[in-house]
Structure 1
């Protein structure tokens, strides 16, 4: 009863707080009103429907081209949202003044409810401690150790696709294969666990892989309800919230509950198996999937010898597992699919990549060694140009933790006056457009929208270096920058290059006859479908085996 009284009080206070926030938005002006931006279609929903519309590419691109690198859009009840892709502003948000621009609170809380205190769900000193322990695990030398694992997985997939195409060219769901391969790559290379035998028939009996794959579809099936999931923390104790969730008659919520429970239970099981093998010694570790070179095995060993101040508790190590899989699968699958689509649209580029790969394979009599593979110049140029023009994640959010002032390259304000900075109130939602930053014409030049891998084979324009883009990789915002940059970007790049080297040395890729039906959808990680109405990811391509 006490918990029920507490919940009633919390709900009442929450409603009063929301009403006050709405009144404050209506009654008071904001410094952000000085910025250019489109007028909202609705006071109630602002531009939220446009921002989160999976077919909202035109709105996103017009926002960048029509209103520039610093602008405003409107959220619920007229709340102002700061839209940014100016390099100077990005530097302040992600690096120089990053403590004033944290991840949005709903992002933290939602991830905490799903994954527990994983890297995706922590901030401040807690996040720094976790990242300090994890960063060495993702170093270039550690990633290099995974190349043998990655080649084995790539060869399994190659053999299965050879089976599909043995009777001649065939249409194959490339996104399906890339998604399965990406899951197995992070499974073996990340957790030391096999999700998928990568046979032609999709496995149905592998529980962990099936659960992980079902997480995002289950979450998105909740519709707008998922945007309010982080408020559950205010509803009493965890045990009370679980009882409340159990009695709510909503199948989608119950399925999400079961998926989260299964992910945690199986993460714990994999962790305990790995810990037992580590205790048993090196021989037992070598017998495991990943031969003890996977991320979690390396992390466990590092954690055992770390100082007490740096050591992570077991529950946090377990939570990292599902978080790693969640962060790694869709982004890698999308990047691979986009590369294969683009080089099919530009067959001369596909031929050039294949020639470079075959020359390296023939020089070594087989698999290309790590140092040479990562430095193949044309493959690297193609990779950089793809993740510049079409990053898997197109935008991220930040939220101001205090009143602050944001400087930026001079713009013309809504009143016609020149602005070089703006006051940003505490609690302001900030939308960082990765796609627009990578396509900024003042930085990349007039040919910014052209797919031109050759731009990376000669010195880049001075405007690129002078922009001081804070991205962690190659003057791009694709992997972000600063203290919350993508910790696994080297891991992802090696996965992609091993897969490309294996596929392009064995197959020719062409666009499907139904290529005009393929649609790229906006989401946390964008994804392809055949048709606008379905939400099932798919990207069919014509695959032809090259003569042996």
Structure 2
């Protein structure tokens, strides 16, 4: 043995620098391969008692799972069933699925159980947000923000400031801004074009609508309905915000310096839009801060006089809690989310006109003449229920990721061919990623019932609905997970609810929304499939192109 070692030492000493480097690299890669293979085998053994989908790498993230080709084991995107979220759980008869992968540093699990979703979301000491993942680090392109903040002091610092922005004054301003923006949309897009009331591209129209709302409610700026593209280097705020919204995936994934140097006029304009968007934000922020700081401690700027726009509320909140957190682009993200949610509302109302009549009757019962105001919000439960049901059936956020900070015993359920449920437990090890599969959890038949695929807003009106359908272990909580759960629930939830309710009540009080078919032979089922299933996964679930017609009552 000693002689062998001596000979090996002599041989290694005779290697050139390049040869030594190559052998060292081969040895390192061999060690990594053995390490990963051993880790992969250990993971397979750990999850052998639960359904699993072994893979080369973790590919369940939004975007890749629909954009990559299906390759068994390497990238089994068909097993993720993004178009039919509940199908993968139905196939294996379990609401927990393991995703052991060879190359990923973390074990991963998918869950469609609202009960486990509540446990994961409520226990901050056992589960944290994995902010190192690309879905969170990409958001920092607009500055460190609430969505990508670490749990603990960092998140608390952001949340303390942001939470105060969603005050009653701001929410009333959101309601009124939507009502004004809706009137502009109806005048410019529906009644002003001399057509039959048709809106040919609902998504583009809703982008414009929500930008009007966020301009007014978010920044106190009135945007024009038609935003013309300019050739100026100093891009106007409305145009910059519109272009950032249209190119949001590129903005998150591609560094600005790359877009600036690629010989593409379109990409160069996107890079300029980001630069100008930042510049306008900071200019407005600094001006508002100087205005409020001048006499912040006087009665004029007391807490009961919080500015109505979200920008002013943000600055006022920062001053009141003496925080100097960095301004982020969160307001723009709200526009992107509610745009998709409002499109979903319009889609379902157009396909199910009987619910338009229900909403119309509710609105007229509240306001026999005129339009309901923010003060009537609590008297319009069905309007909000329509919004929640559309979000349940087409959740735009898709999934929520959490990392286990310690070993945790997680409950899950299986069932037989007759639907008889059995309850089990599985140890989720420290460092594992738990994906709350929101789109599937919202379609779980064991919590939402056998009619889960039906559009029925009244299911959200029953206060004891979770107990009535046997949502075991819920403590009376609803199985709805559309805005996430727990201490890190979406802070824009109230914003979205107010904006959507204002839109639904405003439209249904004066108009009927009709779907526009591709041709006279298109059946209702074909139309429904086209309008609902032609979606794309980007940062959120983006609806496809379809048209509707507004008919005045």
TM-score, normalized by length of structure 1? 0.76
1-side partners of 2:279 and 2:63: how far apart?
Answer: 38
2:546 paired with 1:542: no
Q: Check conservation: 1:32, 1:424, Cα contact below 8 A.
A: no
- The equivalent of 1:426 in structure 2 is 430
2-side partners of 1:523 and 1:305: how far apart?
Answer: 37
Give how far 1:494 is off.
0.9
Q: 1:460 aligns with which of 456, 460, 465?
A: 465
Q: Check conservation: 2:349, 2:356, Cα contact below 8 A.
A: yes
State the SS of the aligned residue for 1:543.
strand
Matches within 5 A, 1:330-479: 330-363=336-369, 366-400=370-404, 402-411=405-414, 420-458=424-462, 459-460=464-465, 462-463=467-468, 466-467=471-472, 475-479=479-483
2:70 paired with 1:52: no
2-side partners of 1:179 and 1:16: how far apart?
Answer: 51
1-side partners of 2:166 and 2:224: how far apart?
Answer: 25
**Unaligned ranges ≥5, structure 2:** 1-24, 68-77, 417-421, 519-526
Matches within 5 A, 1:222-371: 226=253, 258-279=272-293, 292-306=307-321, 311-313=322-324, 316-319=325-328, 322-326=329-333, 328-363=334-369, 366-371=370-375
- Partner deviation per Cα, 1:193-236 (whole Å, 9 max, x = no partner): 34x322xx4433563343344446545459xx94xx8xxxxxxx
- The equivalent of 1:497 in structure 2 is 501
Q: 2:96 aligns with which of 42, 45, 70?
A: 70
Q: Check conservation: 1:399, 1:428, Cα contact below 8 A.
A: yes
2-side partners of 1:264 and 1:246: how far apart?
Answer: 16
- The equivalent of 1:238 in structure 2 is none
2-side partners of 1:403 and 1:291: how far apart?
Answer: 42
- The equivalent of 1:29 in structure 2 is 43
2:132 paired with 1:105: yes
Which protein has the bigger helix share? 1
- Partner deviation per Cα, 1:172-201 (whole Å, 9 max, x = no partner): 32222222121222222123234x322xx4
Q: Check conservation: 2:53, 2:97, Cα contact below 8 A.
A: no
Give how far 1:46 is off.
6.3
Number of residue pairs the alignment of both structures matches? 485
Q: Cα distance 1:397–1:255, how it changes in 2: closer, same or farther (>3 A)?
A: farther
Give how far 1:517 is off.
4.5
Q: Cα distance 1:370–1:48, how it changes in 2: closer, same or farther (>3 A)?
A: closer
Q: Check conservation: 1:38, 1:63, Cα contact below 8 A.
A: no
State the SS of the aligned residue for 2:165.
helix
- The equivalent of 1:147 in structure 2 is 175
Which has the higher relative contact order, 1 or 2, with Cα contacts under 8 A spaced 6 or more apart?
1
2:43 paired with 1:43: no
TM-score, normalized by length of structure 2? 0.75
Give how far 1:478 is off.
0.3
Q: Cα distance 1:257–1:17, how it changes in 2: closer, same or farther (>3 A)?
A: farther
Q: Check conservation: 2:535, 2:543, Cα contact below 8 A.
A: yes
2-side partners of 1:492 and 1:48: how far apart?
Answer: 24
Range 161-170 or range 94-103, more displaced: 161-170
Q: Cα distance 1:451–1:161, how it changes in 2: closer, same or farther (>3 A)?
A: same
Range 115-124 or range 153-162, more displaced: 153-162
Q: 2:146 aligns with which of 110, 116, 119?
A: 119
- The equivalent of 1:82 in structure 2 is 109
**Unaligned ranges ≥5, structure 1:** 1-11, 230-240, 530-537
1-side partners of 2:112 and 2:31: how far apart?
Answer: 32
2-side partners of 1:75 and 1:470: how far apart?
Answer: 35
2-side partners of 1:242 and 1:143: how far apart?
Answer: 34
